Structure formats: C-alpha cells, structure tokens
Structure 1
Amino acid sequence: MNLEEFAKPMAAICSHSLVAPGRPLHWTIIANPTAGGFTIKSRWKQHSAALKLYMEKAEANPLREDAGPSKTALEADQSRGSLGRLGLTLTQGPGTAGKIVKALLEEASSTRSGGNAPFHLLITAGGDGTSLEALTVLYTAPAALRSNFAVLRLPMGTGNDGADARELDGVLDRLIHPSTVEYARALRLTTASGKGPFMAFNILSVGLDAFVTHMTNKMKGKLPGDSYKLWVDIASLLYDRLYKVGHMDVRAFDEAGRQVEDFGEKVLLLAVGASGHRTYGSNKRILPDERNVCVVQQMSLFRKVALKGLFTTGGHIHKPESKPFNAHRVEFRGENPILAQMDGEAVLLKPEDFPAAIELTELAIPVLKLGERD
C-alpha cells in the first residue's frame, strides 16, 4: 500500500476533529509500516474503507484553522516531506517510537503554557510494541506536560490487545464526536536486584504466557499465520521441559496497603491487568471480568490441553486451578528462572531478582474517550 492512502484521510479527520475545542490542535501519528494492519491485504482493505467513511463523516464538522501536524512530525519525515505534512512519522525499528515521543515532549515543553497552549494528539498506528514504546516515554513526562496530551491507539497491529478498540471505527469515533480525556493507570514490574523497572499498559504477567510471547517474538516473520496460537499449542508440550515450574509465594495488597491474598503453590501463570476486562494474544480473555489479577496453578499436561481453549472465552476463571482477584500490588518470589512479559515484550527473571512486584501506577496516561452524545 501507499502510506499516503493512510495518512491523507487521517489528516483530514484530524483537521475536522472535535478534540480540545478552543485550543490549537497538533497531531502526530506514529506508524509501524510493517504492522499487520498495513501489510495484510484483507485487513488493510477493511481499514481503508473505514478511513474513507470517517473522512466523509468528519467533513460535517467545521474545518479547524488552528489544527495541523506537529513540528516533530514535520522534522521526522525522512522522505520528501509529504508524509510529515500529513502528520505521519514512521518507525524504523525498535526504539523509534520512543525517540519520536521524546522529541514531541521537547516540542510541547518549549511552547507557551496556559489555557491556549497547543494540545497534542498522539496517535499510534502499529502493534502493541509501538504503543508500549510510546507510552513508556510519555509516562516519564511531568504531569503538567502530560495534561496537554491525549493518546489514541489505532488497531493496526496483528493482536491489537492494547488498542483503544478492536475495530478502527470504534477508535475514529473519538475524533469526530465530542470527546474527553481520562487518565489510565499503567503497570510497573520492579525487582530486588534493581533490574527494570519494566512498564506495561495492558497486561503484565509471568509464566507460561510469557514463554509464548518470547517464542512468538523470536520466530516472528519465520512462521506463517497466527504464530501466537501455534506457540500456545507448542508451549503446552514444551514449557515444563524448558522452565521448571517451582513453588511461588504470592502476596497481594489493595491500594490502601491491606493484604488481600497470601498463598504459596506451583504457579503456571500470574497475570495482572491495568484493569479488569483485558485480553492478550489477539483477544485471549485472560481477565474476562472486573478482577484484574488471575493466578493459574500448575497442572498435568492432559489438563493443560483440555483447558487451553477456555482462555479464549474466559471460562478458565471458573476452574479450580484458577484464582482470580483484585489487587493493586502483587509481590512474588520463586525458586527458578521465569519469564515475564510486558505488553508483548519479554524479559527473564532470575532467582536474584526475587522478590519482585507488579503494581498499578497512579492515574498517568491521558487517553481520549468518547464523550456524551445526543
């Protein structure tokens, strides 16, 4: 596809957006051109149709004379400037999205302050990795600076568990209708050794699913089709041979610091979400209800094979091997090395890293939400 086919309708939609009325609006779109939403023809066809429809819908709103691409987008364009003038910046590999957000924060900090300061719309158009990089840098910015931003995550990746909606129209609605900015929590993994901290904005987990994430990333581009699903099947057979599932002590606390759980058992999987109702692995419903933590204990190979399909529907939480609950902070200590994953990026935790903790942060990420509609 020609990237201008994506950038032109997005620029038109932003130019007629109702975001931050009364303030100059600057948008920056960070896109990964290798993401599945661009490269898989059937998906791009759906996205292209949605973009055309919403460009037409947006024209019903007044054209904003004070709206335009950010200076960062203009300067980041490595081509002849055509994409930068539309507000589109492209990732070149790991680290690019973070560098773009750093430049954008510097731009925002150098402009005037006050009620009429430019409002920055930060749009990610890639997979969970692009979103993770961008939001990790944004999280480090001072609160006063973040108050001049709103994040919008388009479902242009393969899994899209971290996107603001699974379909593109569910996200674009927030640009052409009245919207509000709400602050969301992130997740932070800290270790006794000082390794990290590691951030996540959807789900942070340790155990079997982190192994699946690790192998999916390792084999990305080498296996056809949905390699995550393939590795779920393989992991059921291989995981116990590669990573010994040992005893783990787990303690959990609420926001006031009161202990809500304290147990020790062989843990196959520990998943903590920024909230409940979270998915990963392309819509696997690991946290299907309002509870933001799920611990799954070790089980036999036969039982793993029998239950693995339930993670798609969320039915696993009703089985005796699962322990779902709510917590603000979860501390854990294991006997053996174990993988952790943060929104699709994996890291190996070793015995010296324990005890480790996964905790919710303060309300920090400004997310664009659909406002009240008549």
Structure 2
Amino acid sequence: MSKAKTLIPEIFGGLLAEICLYTPLAKERPLRWTLIANPTAGGFTIGSRWKKHLRQLQECVLRAQKNPLHVDAFPSETGLKEGDENGLIPTRHGGHARSITEALIDEAGSYSDIYAKRPFNLIITAGGDGTSLDVLTALYHMPTGLRSHFAVLRLPMGTGNDGADAWELEDALSLLIDPAKPGYQRALRLTTSTPGKGPFLAFNILSVGLDAFVTHMTNKTKGKMPGDTYKLWVDVASLLYDRLYKVGSMDVSAFDERGREVRSFSEKVLLLAVGESGHRTYGSHKKILPDDRNVCLVKQMPMLRKVALKGLFTTGEHILKPESVVFNAHRVEFRGEEPLLAQMDGETVLLQKRDFPAAIELTELVIPVLKKV
C-alpha cells in the first residue's frame, strides 16, 4: 500500500474531528465522539470516491467553522485508548465495530460523577452496511437508561451505503453542522419457531426469497470475481433461482401495531421485503420500497417475466406491476413448505421448514439517531 493511501484514515479523522469541534449538537453538555472506520471500505480505497469525499469533507469543515466552538467536545476515552488522537478507531475484523461500541457503552455506564453533567456520546461510523449493522446491534442491546446519552451518525463510506443516514457524505455531515436533535428509530426483528435460532436483527430492510439469494451469493463471491458482484448475481438469479430453491406456496399474514390483521395471502412468493420504514433501498440504492409503504411482496412469475422486470427495482416501478403487492404493516408472519433464505442488512440465514411459522416485526423505538430540527 502506498504511503498516500496509508494517510487517508489519518486525513479523514483529522477533518471529521474538526467538524465535531464546531457541532451545535448537545451544546449544553460535554460531547464525546468516536469515529469507527473500516479502512478497506470503498469510500477510502476507490480513488475517485475518496477524492470526492475529501473535497466534501474540506467544504464541510469550512461550513462547520462558522458555528461557535463547542467548548467541551473531545474524543471519547475509548477512542483515544484504542484509536488515534482524533478518536478514530479502524476496524480490524468482522464484529470489531460491535465490540468497540460495547466498550463505549461500558464507558458511559461507568460514569458516576453526580456533580457534573453526563457526557453525550456521538458514534460516527465510516464504512459500509456491515459496519453499521455491527454498531446498531450493540446499541439495540444497550441498557435503556443510557439511550438518551447516545446518538449514531452513519456516513456513506462503503460500496452500497443503503443503511447510511444519507447517500452523499456532505448531506450526512449536515446533521453535525446544522441544528439536529437526538431521536430514535426502530429495528427489524426476525423470529423463528426453532428455539435458539434467532432472533435476527436488521435496521434497514429484512427480507426473504430471491433478493436474499442474491445477497448470499454476493457475499460468497465478493472479492473473487471482477466488477459489480451484486449486479452480476441479480442477473444470474433471474435464471438460476428457481433451479436452486423451489418457490412453493407461502402463507402470509400481516398485522398493524395494534395487532389487527391488515393483509392475508396464500401465494407462491418470489420475495418478501419489510423495511424499518418506507423509502428504503438495498443492493446499492435499488428502490425496493420507493414510497411510504414498508412492505413489498412479489409473487412468483415465469423466468422471462423476471428478466423483463428486474430492471424496474432500480427505479421503484416494480410496484406498479400486478406481481407486486405493497402495503404497511408492523408484523408479518409467514409459513412455507420449502427452505428459504433470509437477509438482514446484507447478512443471510437459511430458514428450514421446522423454522416456520416465522415473523418479521418492527421493534420499539430503540436506536438513538440524529434528526434534523
């Protein structure tokens, strides 16, 4: 690796720390930030993307410096101990981002000075959907009493970035530069009928069927094949999925937050996707949930019809076709006769017949995030 590339995380951390020094967030109390970065993410390693991100970072620093200095904003103790002087901790392996976040939660829980204001903890993730999933999973399990002392900001520094707070880095950083307030969002939880199998968590989209197969194969071949592996498997899945996984009949029942049934189906289902909200994407901005509704069910169709329609998922126009059923639900229960892959923000699990009935449901508001004022 060239010397210039090894300096990229250092440059990134220094500029981001400068923005944190001038954020209006939690200005009435101490602010402690931690930068969790995956140095192998595409936003750092792909030259054209890094140049764009560097330019946006420099512009955002100039914007931030127009704000008053946050007089009590510093990197967290964990950030300084495990990272560098800017509080940037590079992830070294899968699951590392989760262990870093758990250490931050322990640090916050150990604070006992009753005569001083408890610090507000800002976690900034700079990676892809895997880094975000790790951090949010730890935050999901944090003690309830600490939630109001945390917020996470997810920067789009990966390849897909469907779980980031914005598609563009400058838009995500606006949540630090412009007035923002802590808020909460829900998670998605997959439960099965097999003791000990699950629950599984997602924070963007949790789905079963064809798209989970695409995710599974992408994960298996990523780095081993040239080009856009996800796009390749989208094309291949149109031809191969039915040969590898039998698309059998599925019983689906959907319920609102009060437990009232809103939809019921018994269909051959090609895919079922449930989002934390509407207006959600996956697979690098494929608009599976393009409007306010958070559930999309796509019925089985002939192979040539799949080939003809697959491009519509990029624009969201698939919901206009008769094979698609789109609606709002808080909980979706499903039962099938055949093995079925599920994916949770890019991680997959195989569901067997014994795992049914299974359910995808929205949790309570548990993830501390930043929202525009």
TM-score of Structure 1 vs Structure 2, range by shorter chain: over 0.9
1:70 paired to 2:71: no
Deviation at 1:369, TM superposition (A): 1.5
Listed as ranges, the gaps of 5+ residues in structure 1 are 78-83
Among 357, 363, 366, the alignment partner of 1:364 is: 366
Counterpart amino acid of residue 295 in structure 2: V
Structure 1 equivalent of residue 194 of structure 2: 193
What does 1:103-142 correspond to in 2, within 5 Å? 103-112=103-112, 116-142=117-143
**Which AA in structure 2 matches 1:109?**
G
The AA in structure 2 aligned to 1:168 is L
Q: 5 Å matches for 1:226-245?
A: 226-245=228-247
- 1:217-259 CA-partner distances (Å, limit 9, x unpaired): 1111112222111110011111111111111100010000000
Residue 168 (structure 2) aligns with: 167
Q: Are positions 1:265 and 2:271 aligned together?
A: no
CA RMSD of aligned residues (A): 1.0
The answer (yes or no) to whether the contact 1:252–1:262 under 8 Å persists in 2 is: yes
Helix, strand or coil for the counterpart of 2:85?
Answer: helix
1:93 equivalenced with 2:93 (yes/no): yes
- Give the partner amino acid of 2:128: G
Deviates more, 1:279-288 or 1:49-58: 49-58
Residue matched to 1:207: 209
CA–CA distance in structure 2, aligned partners of residues 120 and 351 of structure 1: 43
Residues 150-176 of structure 1 show CA distances to partners (whole Å, capped at 9, x for unaligned) of 110000000010000000010111111
Distance 2:339 2:35 in 1: 38
1:15 — aligned with what?
Answer: 21
Equivalent residue letter for 1:180: K
Q: Moved runs in structure 1, 4+ residues, more than 6 A?
A: none
Give structure 2 stretches of 5+ with no counterpart: none
Q: Distance in 1 between matches of 2:85 and 2:314?
A: 42
Shift of 1:113: 6.9
In 2, the alpha carbon distance for the partners of 1:76 and 1:235 equals 42
- 8 Å contact from structure 1 (residues 22, 116) kept in 2: no
The alpha-carbon deviation at position 116 of structure 1 amounts to 1.8
Distance 2:354 2:92 in 1: 35
Partner Cα distance (2:352, 2:358) in 1:
10
Q: Provide the rounded CA distance (Å) in 1 between the counterparts of 2:214 and 2:14.
A: 37
| Corresponding residue SS for 1:147 | helix
Aligned identity (percent) is 67
For residues 113 and 359 of structure 1, the distance between their equivalents in structure 2, rounded to whole angstroms, comes to 39
TM-score by length of 1: 0.96
What letter corresponds to residue 161 of structure 2 in structure 1?
Answer: N
Query: Does 2:26 match 1:24?
Result: no
> TM-score, normalised on structure 2?
0.96
Secondary structure of the 1:86 match is: coil
List per-residue Cα deviations over 1:41-70 (Å, max 9, x = no partner).
111011000111111111112222311111
Alpha-carbon distance between aligned partners in 1 of 2:23 and 2:323, rounded to the nearest angstrom: 48
